[in-house]
Amino acid sequence: MSEPLAIHARGLTRRFGALTAVDRVELSIPPARIYGFLGPNGSGKTTTIRMLCGLLTPSEGEAEVLGHRVPDDAERLRLEIGYMTQLFSLYGDLTIRENLEFVGEIYGLATARRRRRIEELLEIYRLGDRAGQRADTLSGGQRQRLALAAAVIHEPRLLFLDEPTSAVDPQSRRDFWESLFQLVEGGTTILVSTHYMDEAERCHGLGILDQGRLVAEGAPRELMQGIDATVIEVETEALRAARAVLDRIAEVLSVAQLGTRLHALVDPTWDDAEGRVRAAFAAADVSASVEITRASLEDVFVAATLPSRREAAA
């Protein structure tokens, strides 16, 4: 391995009382990549990010971030990372420029460089015409651009983004991701958490977190190709009846409705799944077209988080 890893975590675990929020997570994230954490609320995304920033002490395991041990070496790491929190954490009663000035000074940027950098950021993140406006009067998208600008003002090598687009409209989300790719082109490594599939698909590498465990990991395309299930798509007029048939088959792991179609995940060891499902429909006198299809990222997510949901149901 020639390139040193941006983030390397072994057996990272964090417990809050009886709850294990993060459970033996292993991470090897190369530099200049966007790595995504995909997972539902409470899956341990934020806790993992906080441990990697040095804000939380791991209960067990260890992590190196940009070659620094966390949390012991966190103070030195702070100059090299940027962290955009899930909730807006800049000052609502300061203007855009004042917020950037403050963060720039805190990071010790010399006056000339700070001025230049702030102008640059106002330009890149299209905040120039609102520089004098107070942050709490901004829209969700503007506020998020300001938060990103503040997080990268000191040109960090590594950027943590905790659900950065949760309060933002789709167009702003697209723009936001464009700016993330620009940062990566400049050599920045980005770790982003999300629960949007379309965002997860844009990442170079993806880790699916469920109840604190890393249940699947890889590039989105790999994950979709290597899914541990057969995906069957059913098109029918009698959706409810078809669904009832599928629910009765033990080998069908999960069914989801997508418009007028049903999407079923089927046990991959079940031979000729397509044929057997067709037979089941015929037996139940339900007319439907059945075919095997490519897995989407959502299928990957559902398949990866199935075991824990089975446990919860049992």
Q: Build a one-symbol-per-residue string for 264-283: x at contacts with another protein by CB under 8 A, - elsewhere.
A: --------------------
Is residue 13 part of the contact set for another protein (CB under 8 A)? Answer: no
Is residue 44 part of the contact set for another protein (CB under 8 A)? Answer: no
Which of 5-13, 75-83, 170-178, 188-196 is the region at the interface with another protein (rule: CB under 8 A)? 75-83
CA–CA gap between residue 311 and residue 77 (Å, rounded):
39
Tokens of 295: 């897995």
Is residue 56 part of the contact set for another protein (CB under 8 A)? Answer: yes
Is residue 161 part of the contact set for another protein (CB under 8 A)? Answer: no
- Give whichever of 20 and 305 is closer to another protein, judged by the CB atom: 20
Q: Which of residues 192-251 bind another protein (CB under 8 A)?
A: none
Is residue 125 part of the contact set for another protein (CB under 8 A)? Answer: no
Is residue 292 part of the contact set for another protein (CB under 8 A)? Answer: no
CA–CA gap between residue 240 and residue 233 (Å, rounded):
15
Is residue 75 part of the contact set for another protein (CB under 8 A)? Answer: yes
From 32, 33, 69, 91, residue interacting with another protein (rule: CB under 8 A)? 91
From 11, 92, 186, 187, residue interacting with another protein (rule: CB under 8 A)? 92
Is residue 94 part of the contact set for another protein (CB under 8 A)? Answer: yes
CB of 94 to another protein, least distance (A): 6
From 17, 108, 132, 259, residue interacting with another protein (rule: CB under 8 A)? 108
Residues forming the site for another protein (CB under 8 A): 50, 53-57, 71, 74-75, 78-79, 81, 83, 85, 87-94, 98, 101-103, 105-108, 150
